[in-house]
Amino acid sequence: MISQRNIHVKLLLSPQKWYESNIQISFSPTYENVLAIPVSSITEDNKVFIKTKRGYVERKIKTGLQNDTRAQVISGLSQNDEVVVESTLVPKKTQARFPFRFFIR
């Protein structure tokens, strides 16, 4: 559960200049032993790329809490999966190459 507090602050920036403002601070609970990955590794449709022996595979995940840099993974990954940190850097699939004789008639 996230709790919020409103605080009124006064700042003295120079001998005759005071600034006042109201700020709102949100506190969220701390979670331990969760699987979290960089937000940059998640595609727009909540998928990540996993490195396997045969290359890279795309996998759908379900995320939970997240901040600017990390996202909690609720399902779709295990602790030993190797996740590509920046999904845009995954090598594109190579196009099939045909033997030269395929084109000769």
Query: For 50-60, how does the pLDDT look when each residue is reduced to its tens digit (9 = 90+)?
Result: 988 888 889 99
- Torsion angles phi and psi, residue 69, rounded to 5: -120, -25
Residue 48 bridge partners (DSSP):
59
Q: What is the pTM of this model?
A: 0.59
What is the rounded distance in angstroms from the CA atom of residue 38 to the CA atom of residue 77? 13
Q: Could you give the 3-state DSSP secondary structure of residue 80?
A: coil
Q: Could you give the 3-state DSSP secondary structure of residue 40?
A: helix
Tell me which fold the domain 3-88 belongs to.
Answer: 2.40.420
Listed by start position, the domains of the chain span 3-88
Query: For 13-59, how does the pLDDT look when each residue is reduced to its tens digit (9 = 90+)?
Result: 887 788 888 888 877 777 788 899 999 999 989 999 998 888 888 99
The whole-number pLDDT of residue 67 equals 87
Which tokens belong to 74? Answer: 């609720």
